[in-house]
Amino acid sequence: MAVLEIRKYPDTVLKQKAEPVEKIDDGLQRLIDDMVETMYAASGIGLAAPQVGVSKRLIVVDVSVKEGENIPLIVLVNPEIKETEGTVDSEEGCLSLPGFITTVKRAEKVVVEGLDRHGKKITVSAEGLLSMALQHEIDHLNGTLILDRASLIKREFFKKRLQKSLSKTG
Ligand code: NI
C-alpha cells in the first residue's frame, strides 16, 4: 500500500467527469487500498479517485472517527444516488481545497447504489455525516467541488487568496 499525492485545486483532473470502472482487477484493488491509506493519512473521512489523479468512478468513505465505529469503511465502485430526501445545510471542507470551508446544500438522506470492491451490488442508505460524505465524494466524480457550490463571494475570496499564495511561492 502507498500514500498517494492528493491533487489540489486547480488541478484539471478535479474538473473532469470520471469514467465508469469497467474491470474489477488487481490494479483496482491496489488503487482502493492506496486510496484508503491516503484518506487515513490525510485524516479525511472520504476520498474520490480523481483526487489521486485517477479519473474513475470510485470512492472510499469512513466516517467512523466522527460517527462511531459501528459505521464501517465503505468502498463504492460506480456509485449512483438513487433517492434523496430533505435538504440540509452542510459545513464541509475538502482535501483538494486546503483551508477552504463552506456551507453547501445537501440532501438530508440518500440511497446510493454501486458495487463493492468485489463487484457485488450494494445499496447504502445514509443520513447525517455519512450522507454528506457520500454526496461530497460523488460530486467529485462529476467534476464538482464544494467551491462550485459555495457562494460567489466565498469563491472569489478563495481564488484571490490562492493567487496571492501562488505568486508568493513562485
Ligand atoms: Ni473533497
Average pLDDT, the chain: 95
Q: How far apart are CA 27 and CA 146, in angstroms?
A: 29
pLDDT at position 167 is 83
Please state the φ and ψ torsions of residue 79, each to the nearest 5 degrees: -70, 145
Catalytic machinery residues: 137
Output the CA 44–ligand 1 centroid distance in Å: 9
pLDDT at position 1 is 80
The amino acid at residue 2 is: A
Residue 170 scores a pLDDT above 60: no
* Cell digits of residue 98: 486546503
Output the CA 49–ligand 1 centroid distance in Å: 10
Average pLDDT of span 30-50? 97
Output the CA 127–ligand 1 centroid distance in Å: 18
Degrees (nearest 5) of the Cα angle 135, 141, 142? 90
Q: What is the DSSP string of 75-124?
A: EEEEEEEEEEEEEEEEEEE-TTSTT-EEEEEEEEEEEEEEE-TTS-EEEE
Residue 134 scores a pLDDT above 90: yes
Residues 45 and 66: beta-carbon distance below 8 Å = yes
Q: How far apart are CA 48 and CA 14, in angstroms?
A: 10
Output the CA 117–ligand 1 centroid distance in Å: 21
Q: How large a percentage of the chain has pLDDT more than 70?
A: 99
Residues 57 and 32: beta-carbon distance below 8 Å = no
Residue 138 scores a pLDDT above 90: yes
- Name the CATH superfamily for 12-169: Peptide deformylase (3.90.45.10)
Output the CA 76–ligand 1 centroid distance in Å: 15
pLDDT band, very low/low/confident/very high, at 56 (cuts 50, 70, 90)? very high
Q: How far apart are CA 45 and CA 64, in angstroms?
A: 8
* Cell digits of residue 95: 482535501
Average pLDDT of span 117-131? 97
Q: CB neighbours of 133 closer than 8 A, spacing ≥ 6?
A: 45, 46, 61, 63
* Domain layout of the chain by residue ranges: 12-169
Instruction: For the chain, give percent helix, strand, coil, nearest 5.
Output: 40, 30, 30
Q: Around ion ligand 1, which residues have CB less than 5 A away? A: 94
Instruction: Tell me how crowded residue 68 is: count the other CB atoms within 10 A of its CB.
Output: 8
pLDDT band, very low/low/confident/very high, at 69 (cuts 50, 70, 90)? confident
Average pLDDT of span 130-145? 98
- Model confidence, pTM: 0.95
Q: How far apart are CA 137 and CA 143, in angstroms?
A: 10
